[in-house]
Amino acid sequence: MDQITAIDMESKEAGIIAPLITRARTAMQQIAHYDQAQTDELVIALAWSLYQPEQAERLAKLAVQDTGLGNVPDKIIKNQRKTFGTLRDLLRAKSVGVIEENAALGLVKFAKPIGVVAAVTPSTNPAATPVNKAMMALKGRNAIIIAPSPAGSETTSQTVDAMRAELKRIGAPEDLVQILPPPPSKALTDALMKAADLVVVTGSQDNVRRAAMSGTPAIGVGAGNVPVMIDETADFDDAAAKILASKTFDNSTSCSSENAVVIVDAGYDQAIAALEKMGGYMCTAEDAKRIESILWQKGNLNRHLIARDAAILAEAFGLPEAAAKAKFFMVPESGYGKAHPFSGEKLSLVLAVYRAKNFEDACGIIRNILDYQGRGHSCGIHTRDLNRAWKMAETLDVVRVLVNFAHTFGNGGGFNSGLNFTLSMGCGSWQKNSISENLSYKHFLNITHLVKPIPEDKPAEADLFGNYWAKYGK
């Protein structure tokens, strides 16, 4: 493409985006006077547009039909659980007017909208993620324009239609929530990112990188590849039950799904027995070679097999009859990196199994796995020794370390987890993300600081330098 053609294309895409931005800003002006109660009503409306049982089921069915990823029962749960949990968190927070006062410091903080948000959403959650981001954006009295994944665009389009209809029902501006016109394209998404005030990206790392280069403040999240340790002190049945529930949820579409289990040698046999009792099938070395040759095609995951049911995988992998009724497949592994693809994210019901000499060796294995893929995201441990969890949090480069959790249900917020509900998890500078926490409404606010005089707080030089002078001299 020559330079003139490139400029023409850019102008064409910008011309499509400009009216969307104008409508979004007009809608924001119409709610600029909203108080906290009115703002929260907007959020409730968006939540109800997906949470209501008929909608949650309809959009779950459409998502599986649209993308071929996951399964309907779990997507229904995801549509409702994530929406309900996020609504709980948002209704407990202040986001309008004065949100904090500190008399001792003479500070008052006022929340202001950040502007028009460009939200890039993934095919794995084409309904839940758009609603999740829209709820957070409107909590700050922003407007949002969603760029859907091509694979899930029909589901996302109907999800946006439902949000707009619910806003209209309560007398609020529909253009607070918009979607790019079809068909989805990288060029149109790039133009949106350049024109918006904030970009929030969940999905491919290519999209995250392009958002960072858009010239607009961007929040991107990193890739998952969760390793979870089972040590010799664990409740093996409890650990296996939680790993089953998490690994199989929505056929492993979640970035928080376990991709490897690292078992300390002293508890290895008990842990494997518990996992097999829960429906795990332990693959032989020959099984593993066959799975690797089929699950990866030319170095990339086979899109026809990711996030598919276990029975489909067992047949596709040519596994023996004993695997036909398995719920997930365990593959022994000892290496890391491109030459050992099982050490990476698999987006399927395949779980790599590592055997560690002891706790310290297990930590080293987890570090090696994360260094290959998923550094910064998260890891977990099943143990009765909380000092070990503390040690992992101290020494491993991850944002989240979960203890005795079904990882998928705790990492993105849970009713028994202190993390806020989200479908977007920051991974810090380890994955070149601007946040090292779960995405929340706070990331959709500008804050004005009112600063008032306080009694002078100026210590003497000796208070600050005294110990240093005594040790090294002036």
Considering the domain architecture, whether residues 371 and 285 belong to the same structural domain is answered as yes
Looking at residue 345, its pLDDT comes to 96
pLDDT band at 204 (very low <50, low <70, confident <90, very high): confident
CA angle 43, 49, 53 (to 5 degrees): 130
- Say how far apart CA 272 and CA 460 lie, in whole Å: 63
pLDDT in tens, 164-176: 999 999 999 999 9
Kindly tell me if the per-residue pLDDT of 2 is higher than 60.
no
Decide if 7 is inside a domain.
Answer: no
Rounded alpha-carbon distances, angstroms, from residue 210 to 201, 203, 207: 10, 12, 5
Q: What is the DSSP string of 65-106?
A: HHH--S-HHHHHHHHHHHHHHHHHHHHTS--SEEEEEETTTT
Is pLDDT at 71 greater than 90 in this prediction?
yes
pLDDT tens readout for residues 444-455: 999 999 999 999
**Composition of the chain by helix, strand, coil, percent to 5:** 50, 20, 30
CATH number at residue 368: 3.40.309.10
Per-residue model confidence as pLDDT tens digits over 296-320: 998 999 999 999 999 999 999 999 9
What mean pLDDT comes out for the span 328-350? 97
| pLDDT of 364 over the 60 cut | yes
Q: Range with the lowest mean pLDDT among 7-11, 55-59, 186-190, 220-224?
A: 7-11
Distances from the Cα of 469 to the Cα of 34, 239, 304, 459, 473, angstroms? 56, 55, 68, 16, 4
Secondary structure of residue 446 in the 3-state scheme: strand
pLDDT at 211 over 70: yes
Q: Is residue 26 part of a domain?
A: yes
Give the pLDDT confidence of 113-130 residue by residue, as tens digits: 999 999 999 999 999 999
**Cα–Cα distance for residue pair 125/46, rounded to 1 Å:** 16
Number of structural domains, the chain? 2
**255 among known catalytic residues:** yes
Q: Does any domain span residue 474?
A: no
Judgement on whether residues 129 and 24 belong to the same structural domain of the protein:
yes
Listed residue (154, 164, 184) closest to 58, CA to CA: 154
Looking at residues 215-235, what average pLDDT do you find? 96
Q: Give pLDDT, residue 5.
A: 45
Say whether pLDDT at 386 is over 90: yes
In this predicted structure, the answer to whether residue 443 has a pLDDT above a threshold of 90 is yes
3-class state of residue 266 by DSSP? helix
CA angle 419/423/429 to nearest 5° reads 75
The least confident of 79-88, 134-143, 210-219, 375-384 is: 210-219
Strand order in the sheet with 107-113: 97-102, 107-113, 445-451
pLDDT of residue 10: 64
Give dist(CA 307, CA 126) in Å, integer.
14
**Is residue 6 one of the residues assigned to a domain?**
no
Q: Which of 255, 283, 363, 379 is catalytic?
A: 255
**pLDDT at site 19:** 97
> Is 468 part of a structural domain of the chain?
no
Average pLDDT over residues 378-391: 98
Q: Give domain status of residue 114, yes or no.
A: yes
Domain of 18 in residue numbering reads as 12-220+440-450
CATH number at residue 201: 3.40.605.10
pLDDT tens sequence across 230-278: 999 999 999 999 999 999 999 999 999 999 999 999 999 999 999 999 9
**Quick one: 182 and 277 in the same domain?**
no
Determine, yes or no, domain membership for 464. Answer: no
- 210/252 same-domain check: no
pLDDT at residue 11 in the model: 82
Residue given tokens 């570090």 in the structure block: 367
Nearest of 256, 200, 244 to residue 399 by alpha carbon: 256
Rounded mean pLDDT, 172-184: 97
pLDDT for residue 3: 45
pLDDT for the residue 203? 82
pLDDT single digits (tens) 393-413: 999 999 999 999 999 999 999
Confidence (pLDDT) at 412: 95
> Residue 185 has what pLDDT?
93
CB atoms within 10 A of CB 396: 17
Residue 92 pLDDT exceeds 50: yes
Q: Residues near 186 by Cβ (< 8 Å), separated by ≥ 6?
A: 210
